[in-house]
Amino acid sequence: MQQAGAGEHNDTMVWDFPLRAFHWALAGGFFTAYWSAKYHHGEIHAATGYALCILLFARLLWGFLGSRYSRFASFIFPPRETVRYFKEMLQGRPRHYPGHNPAGALMVFAMLALLLLILFTGLATLSLIDFEGPLPLHADDQTSYAIRHLHAFLINIALTLVALHLLGVITGSIQHGENLVRAMVTGRKEGHAHTGNEKTI
């Protein structure tokens, strides 16, 4: 890893188009699924769930085959570095990473794992209660409805993670002097290494 000098300007193409498309499609798909479940639009909810399954598979594949900062290997950090980053965040002077920082990396992995569980429990509910879908599952009524309740509970956890993600985007944009929302639209990250310990992978 290399370090950039203090105050050096960064203008780097970081997020490739497939990653950006996944990000915004996932955001739209999640809230469509939430809205359709809340207002009992079962067909829309099921169709959105299938679309999210495809999106998740594509993101997992792109995590190994995508461009530099899309690959999971680019944002797997040792625990010590992650703890250090959170300490730097609390001090208001976190080091800058061109791609995901350790906090962002934790959020990505947490959301992908949670999405996997949500989709599985959704497909399981579809199979066990509605007798539809691709999973040939069988269980008693108590287990079936427990899985449906788990599916709903996981959605609430996801909403909490979304709120934390938005808070992290705002905090990161302020601390690093860059517009992270715009970066996820254009693919380019612009900012300065305020503390002289900016890192490139």
3-state SS, residue 30: helix
Q: How confident is the model at residue 6 (pLDDT cuts 50, 70, 90)?
A: very low
Asked whether residue 75 carries a pLDDT value surpassing 90, the answer given is yes
CB atoms under 10 Å from CB of 183, counted, come to: 21
Residues 6+ apart with CB under 8 A from 73: none
Q: Which residues of 90-123 are buried (b: 16+ CB within 10 A; e: fewer)?
A: eeeebbbbbbbbbbbbbbbeebeebbeebbbbbb
**How confident is the model over 124-156, as pLDDT tens digits?**
999 999 999 999 999 999 999 999 999 999 999
125: left (phi over 0), alpha (psi -120 to 50) or beta: alpha
DSSP string, 128-174: HTS--SS------HHHHHHHHHHHHHHHHHHHHHHHHHHHHHHHHHH
Is pTM beyond 0.75 here? yes
Q: How confident is the model at residue 190 (pLDDT cuts 50, 70, 90)?
A: confident
The answer to whether the beta carbons of residues 151 and 52 sit under 8 Å apart is no
The 8-class DSSP code of residue 14 comes to -
Taken in order 76, 84, 198, 106, is the CA torsion positive or negative?
A: positive
Q: How confident is the model at residue 2 (pLDDT cuts 50, 70, 90)?
A: very low
Asked whether residue 192 carries a pLDDT value surpassing 60, the answer given is no
Asked whether residue 1 carries a pLDDT value surpassing 80, the answer given is no
Asked whether residue 16 carries a pLDDT value surpassing 90, the answer given is yes
Asked whether residue 122 carries a pLDDT value surpassing 60, the answer given is yes
CB atoms under 10 Å from CB of 10, counted, come to: 19
pLDDT for the residue numbered 198:
47
The domains located in the chain, with CATH, are: 2-200 (1.20.950.20)
